[in-house]
Amino acid sequence: MDTPLIEFKNVTKRFNGKTILDKVDMAIYANQVTTIIGKSGTGKSVLLKHIAGLLTPEEGEIFLNGRPLGEMKKNGEWDGYRKNISYMFQGNALFDSMTVFDNVALPLRQTTRLKKKEITEKVMMRIDQTELSEVVGKYPAELSGGMQKRVALARALVTDPDIVLFDEPTTGQDLVRRNVILSMIAHYKKKLGFTAVLISHDIPDVLFISDRIILLWEGKVAFQGNYEDALQLKHPMIDEFLQSLEGFRDELTGLLSKQMFTSRYAMTFGADQEGIAGTAILFSVNFNLLVESLGHQAAVDVVKTLGEHINEYMGAIGGFSTRQRTGQIITILPHISVEDAQQTIGDLAKKLQEKALPSIESVIQARTKIDTCIEIYVSAGITEARISDDIEKILDNARSAQQIIAQYRCAREEFE
């Protein structure tokens, strides 16, 4: 693997004699979304504050691209490091006596030599991207919790940082808003190319956007790696933690949680040791295009509606599904052949076009109040699922077989 962007080696931190971080070793890689999970009081925020330079370790060292932070000169490298970091606080930390515009403009006004016009342009660009144009002159107290989060996000991104630290960005949000914020983080991470480090309790939602997970347990790193590795690693600590946080269902779509899906998959195919055990279908929507054209809220609405319909339709014939990524859903149809599954997909596609997609348009238009042309594409890839295949292989096969099964453009329905 590459050299980590940020690496903790034996980092220990104590407050009033109490050890909060206990010889923490962990790595954060560039251009990834790394999520730090763990129960309350396990030192997640403390860990994040060490990365931001708000706290310094009592023992151990933190490295940036292999260079110890402690050896960096204050006005040279250290300043350069801090310049490239943004921090989105759990409570937003917005200045309540400043308007939305002034809050977002503050770091540019204070730390750059940009002219007033350039600052206004940059700030308005971020404000537009975070869908805050209508509240630009309002004060934080006049905004909803979700809007305040977006202001904090806009402020964190206005300086074009390389590393953005998010301290529980979705806490206290309803499930749709939670997914909207996470979708925004994933979207801007992809668009602006920063490295994101998140703290979140919102499992499974946060896992859809995470490349890497770090589990903190009583001040120590219990696991670091991707989610699939975490599930395979049979560690009582991880089981206990995931079961305590991840419910049976994905709240947004009503589909199974990833962990339940994996358990169900193993259970269903465990008895059928040979031959084809069933069919896997990978559904996708044009999520990024929807985000670009209609915003994050509308894109999450589409995933929500699609998930609900897939759950209803596939569940009725014995299938079980889970959200794979933000805009991807995988369904397993046990003991159903590919040919039968294709017939089923045809029926579902018809149902999607006749019922689901038109209903999405009315929901989006009611929410956005924009009379714009909505384009939604639903793709599906069908593949055989054998007991010998792991989920990743099945996903790869399904992904390569994907084609558009239903599409919707404005009020005109088409069917393939």
Partner 1 sequence: MARSIYLNLLFFFNFIGKYTMDIINHLGAAIIFFSLGFVRIFRAKQWHEIVKQVYYIGATSTSIVVVVGLFTGMVLGLQLYYTLIKFGSEGVVGAAISLSIIRELGPVLAAIMITARAGSAMTAEIGIQRISEQIDALYTMRIDPVKYLISPRIAAAIISFPILTAFFDLVGIIGGWLTAVLLLGVNEGAYFYRAMSSLAMVDIQGGFIKSIVFAVIVSTICCYQGYFTHLRTDSHGSKSVSVSTTSAVVLSCVTILISDYVVTTFLM
Residues 6 or more apart whose Cβ sits within 8 Å of residue 89: 152, 167
Q: Out of 56, 70, 109, 137, which residue is the one contacting partner 1 (CB under 8 A)?
A: 109
Burial class (CB in 10 A: 0-12, 13-18, 19+), 29: middle
- Least distance to partner 1 from the beta carbon of 48, Å? 10
User: Which 132-161 residues touch partner 1, going by CB under 8 A?
Assistant: 155, 159
Of the pair 97, 362, the CB lying nearest partner 1 is at 97
Q: Out of 29, 32, 102, 107, which residue is the one contacting partner 1 (CB under 8 A)?
A: 107
Please say whether the beta carbons of 404 and 379 come within 8 A: yes
Binding mask 64-93 vs partner 1 (x if CB under 8 A, - otherwise)?
---------------x--xx-xxx-xxx-x
- What is the DSSP secondary structure assignment for residue 249, as one 8-state letter? B
- Least distance to partner 1 from the beta carbon of 105, Å? 11
- Least distance to partner 1 from the beta carbon of 24, Å? 21
- Least distance to partner 1 from the beta carbon of 171, Å? 14
Binding mask 31-60 vs partner 1 (x if CB under 8 A, - otherwise)?
------------------x--xxx------
- What is the DSSP secondary structure assignment for residue 4, as one 8-state letter? P
Residue-wise over 210-233: b if at least 16 C-beta within 10 A, else e?
bebbbbbbebbbbbbeebeebbee
By C-alpha distance, which of 175, 168, 176 is closest to 152? Answer: 168
| 64-66-71 Cα angle (round to 5) | 70
Strand-pair category, 18-28 with 412-415: unpaired
Of the pair 73, 412, the CB lying nearest partner 1 is at 73
Using DSSP's 3-state secondary structure scheme, residue 31 falls into coil
Of the pair 75, 273, the CB lying nearest partner 1 is at 75
HSE on the CB side for 104, CA within 13 Å? Answer: 33
- Least distance to partner 1 from the beta carbon of 54, Å? 6
Structure tokens at 281: 């279908």
Using DSSP's 3-state secondary structure scheme, residue 6 falls into strand
How many residues belong to the site for partner 1 (CB under 8 A)? 24
User: Which 347-386 residues touch partner 1, going by CB under 8 A?
Assistant: none
Of the pair 140, 204, the CB lying nearest partner 1 is at 140
- Least distance to partner 1 from the beta carbon of 201, Å? 19
Please say whether the beta carbons of 210 and 198 come within 8 A: yes
- Least distance to partner 1 from the beta carbon of 119, Å? 13
- What is the binding site for partner 1 (CB under 8 A)? 49, 52-54, 79, 82-83, 85-87, 89-91, 93-95, 97, 106-107, 109-111, 155, 159
